[in-house]
Amino acid sequence: MKQTNTKITRRVRPPIISLSILICLFSWSLISQNAVTNNCTTECHKRTVKKDILHGPTATDCTACHETNGQEHPLEDVAGFTLFAEGAALCYSCHVEVEEEHNLKYVHKPVKNGECTECHEVHSSNDSHLVFTPAPDLCFFCHSEYEDKKATAKTVHKASFEGDACLLCHTPHASTQKRLLADKSKQLCLNCHNKIIKKEDGNLIANIEKHLNESSHLHKALKKRCTSCHNPHYSERDLLLKDEFTIGTYVKGIEENFSLCFGCHDTDLLNLETTAVGTEFREGDRNLHFLHINKDKGRNCTTCHDIHAANNTKLIATTVKFGRWDMPLNYIPNDNGGTCATGCHKEQSYSREVISND
Per-residue confidence in pLDDT tens, the chain, 358 aa: 333 333 333 333 333 334 344 434 444 444 433 344 467 888 888 888 999 999 999 988 899 999 999 898 888 888 889 999 999 999 999 999 999 999 999 999 999 999 999 999 999 999 999 999 999 999 999 999 999 999 999 999 999 999 889 999 999 999 999 999 999 999 999 999 999 999 888 889 999 999 999 999 999 999 889 999 999 999 999 999 999 999 999 999 999 999 999 999 999 999 999 999 999 999 999 999 999 999 999 999 999 999 999 998 899 999 998 888 999 999 999 999 999 988 888 999 999 986 545 4
Cα–Cα distances in angstroms (integers) from residue 339 to residues 140, 223, 299, 317, 345, in the given order: 54, 28, 18, 14, 12
Delimit the domains of the chain by residue range.
6-132, 133-189+215-244, 245-358
Torsion angle of C-alpha atoms 213, 217, 221, 223, degrees rounded to 10: 50
Phi, psi of 305, deg, nearest 5: -100, 145
Please say whether the beta carbons of 170 and 180 come within 8 A: yes
Angle ∠(328,330,332) on CA atoms, nearest 5: 155
* CA–CA gap between residue 218 and residue 80 (Å, rounded): 67
Cα separation of 239 and 46, whole Å?
51
First vs last Cα of the chain: how many Å apart?
Answer: 80
Task: Enumerate residues 6+ apart whose C-beta is below 8 A from 137.
Answer: none
Per the CB < 8 A criterion, the answer to whether 119 and 149 are in contact is: no
Classified as helix, coil or strand, 68 is: strand
CA distance 238 to 329: 26
How confident is the model at residue 73, as a pLDDT? 85
Q: Which pLDDT does position 233 carry in this prediction?
A: 97
CB-based contact 123:48 (threshold 8 Å): yes
What's the pTM? 0.81
Residue 310, beta-bridge partner list: 217
- Residue 38's pLDDT is 61
Q: How far apart are CA 232 and CA 178, in angstroms?
A: 14
36 three-state secondary structure: coil
Which whole-number Å values give the CA distances from 102 to 92, 115, 176, 185, in the listed order? 11, 13, 11, 21
Task: Provide CB contacts within 8 A for 57, sequence distance 6+.
Answer: 64, 65, 94
Which three-class secondary structure string do you get for 81-138?
A: EEECCCCHHHHHCCCHHHHHHHHCCEECHHHHCCCHHHCECCCEECCCCCECCCCCHH
Cα 291-297-299 angle, rounded to 5 deg: 60
